[in-house]
Chains A and B, each alone.
Chain A
């Protein structure tokens, strides 16, 4: 597809389980971002990638959160030992130009932790 693709679109899991969220950016986009959006709230920055490296991981809420990007393309956000407060929509965005705010967002992965 032409846009940013995220999967799964919805994920329901039990507290304590691990989850993986996938992002497929627009082809050729070098920068990739992860944000978290809680119900009715703003966008909380988690991490961004330039190519395969992550210059800034400062937004990851705890060491239960990790992300990687391979081949300068697909990225995976992993949340270990999920907690109820992790419930949110996780948004991925990609950008054709480094160091700009021109982001193209996917529709998000809605995570519900029971």
Chain B
């Protein structure tokens, strides 16, 4: 019930393309769904987040789509750049924060 599933495990996208990462959860008590970006040797950093009363949130090239009935949410990175190459974690929280297993994104020129 506490698990957050994430796919794909790794993703290779050409520069300028769209990167899509999907997550799913079971526990309906979760009420905050953040995405974190982690570069090697660094701690994760909050990228964008959404609450379940909203179906979509966009910040620059990053968009979260949220489907409450399906208990799924996804991150879309538009116009992907080599600097976006990192590991991305979805998460869900109500008191503690539970992370998905991560997606390693490589954006190739």
Contacts and interface: CB of A to CB of B under 8 A. Distances in A.
- Interface range on chain A: under 10, 10 to 19, 20 to 34, or 35 or more? 20 to 34
A106 B43 CA distance: 6
A29 B20 CA distance: 33
Interface in A27-76: 33, 35, 41-43, 45, 48, 55-56, 59
A102 B94 CA distance: 11
Interface residues of B, number: 24
B46 interface: yes
Nearest to A110: B41
Secondary structure class of chain B's binding surface, majority of residues? strand
Contact of A100 (B45, B89, B93, B98): B93
A86 interface: no
Contacts of A108: 43
Given A42-B89, A43-B89, A56-B96, A101 B34 contact: yes
Contacts of A93: 43
Contacts of A43: 44, 89, 99, 102
Contact of B91 (A48, A98, A101): A101
A108 B46 CA distance: 16
Interface string A86-97: 000001010000
Contacts of B98: 45
B97 A103 contact: yes
A45 B101 contact: no
Contact of B95 (A41, A99, A104, A107): A99
Contacts of A91: 43-44
Contact of B43 (A45, A55, A56, A107): A107
Given A33-B96, A45-B99, A56-B95, A101 B43 contact: no
Interface of A: 4, 33, 35, 41-43, 45, 48, 55-56, 59, 91, 93, 98-108
Given A33-B97, A101-B33, 6 more contacts: A41-B101, A93-B43, A101-B97, A102-B32, A102-B46, A103-B97
